[in-house]
Amino acid sequence: MIFLCYHGVTKHKSKNIENFSGKHLDKEIFRKQMEILKKKCKIIDIHSIYYHLKNNIPFEKNSVAISFDDGFENNFSQAVPILKKLKIPAIFYICPQNIEKKQMFWVDKIESLIINTVRKSIYLKSLRKNYLLKNNIDKKKAILAIKKFCKSQSVKKKDDIINELYFVTKKKNSLKLIKNYKIASWSQIKSTAENHLFEIGGHSMEHNIFTKIPKNKLYSEIKNCINLIKKRTGIRVKHFSYPEGEYNQKTIDILKQFNILSCPIATGFLNDKNTNLFKIKRVMVGFDKTKFPKF
């Protein structure tokens, strides 16, 4: 069984270096991919994945499932109509705090601040580094370096770096919203969940990496995520995915305490009947030029 992971589906042709990682896949390419799956594969949903893995039942040949991480607005305005038309099931793993605050993900804030700044270079005290921002190549390099560094830091240190970045880049611009980075609304989540094809899963409160959250706060992080989704939509979350695919045994233990049934990772390829329910492999599509598998 191949579990595909998408992030966004877009109809916007990117200006400058917006979406340079390819995280938001062109809508027509997505449509073609779904048509291929419909023709060649046995498309299953998250309940079927759970049933097979829980009971060690082999998957049918060419089994495939679809997931979306993060909860971008374009999942619901662009991808869902295509999925509905082709009757393809999918699970959407969402970050309720980003929806609640209508705020961009922290990785997208880094991207947006650097893309939109008019400054030709910036100095980040917290990294003790100067970044040239004269052209798009410089900007891409800076975005990748700052993101990479932030991912290795504690949540607090990462937040401090983003605050500093906001301060040093904002002199003549603001945090302009890049259309693709818009977050879904609660009403989009609710109306999507009413369709039996679709399932809503948790993906942390606001995409902080579980292994970078202090251990004594991890329990409330997961609890708050489940509770906020329940409060706003009435949905009891049964499935999760790890932000950035990062997890440890403590994370798995807490998820199980909240009766979470499965949680995929962000790497790997083929799953079989013996795959661990909390380590389901996934294939990224679009993101960082990853390829759609051949069926």
Closest separation in Å from C-beta 284 to Zn ion: 10
Minimum CB distance to Zn ion smaller for 70 or for 108: 70
| Cα distances (Å, whole numbers) of residue 264 to 45, 121, 171, 190, 197 | 13, 39, 41, 23, 19
Measure the CA–CA gap between 20 and 112, rounded to whole angstroms: 12
Closest separation in Å from C-beta 93 to Zn ion: 7
Measure the CA–CA gap between 281 and 210, rounded to whole angstroms: 18
Q: Which amino acid is at 13?
A: K
Minimum CB distance to Zn ion smaller for 65 or for 95: 95
Provide the greatest CA pair distance for the chain: 59
Find, among 225, 267, 223, the residue nearest to 247 by Cα. Answer: 267
Minimum CB distance to Zn ion smaller for 4 or for 124: 4
Tokens standing for residue 59: 């998957």
Closest separation in Å from C-beta 24 to Zn ion: 13
Minimum CB distance to Zn ion smaller for 124 or for 255: 255
Q: Which amino acid is at 108?
A: D
Minimum CB distance to Zn ion smaller for 70 or for 221: 70
| Cα distances (Å, whole numbers) of residue 87 to 6, 31, 104, 208, 233 | 17, 12, 30, 33, 23
What DSSP state is assigned to residue 240?
A: B
What are the start-end ranges of the E strands in the chain? Answer: 2-6, 8-10, 24-26, 42-43, 63-70, 90-94, 121-124, 129-132, 198-202, 283-284
Measure the CA–CA gap between 89 and 42, rounded to whole angstroms: 11
Beta partners for residue 280, in sequence order: 264
Nearest residue to Zn ion, scored by beta-carbon proximity: 69
Closest separation in Å from C-beta 105 to Zn ion: 8
Minimum CB distance to Zn ion smaller for 7 or for 238: 7
Closest separation in Å from C-beta 213 to Zn ion: 15
Say if CB 122 and CB 169 are below 8 A apart. yes
Closest separation in Å from C-beta 172 to Zn ion: 31
Closest separation in Å from C-beta 274 to Zn ion: 26
List residues near Zn ion by CB under 5 A: 69-70, 243
Minimum CB distance to Zn ion smaller for 69 or for 221: 69
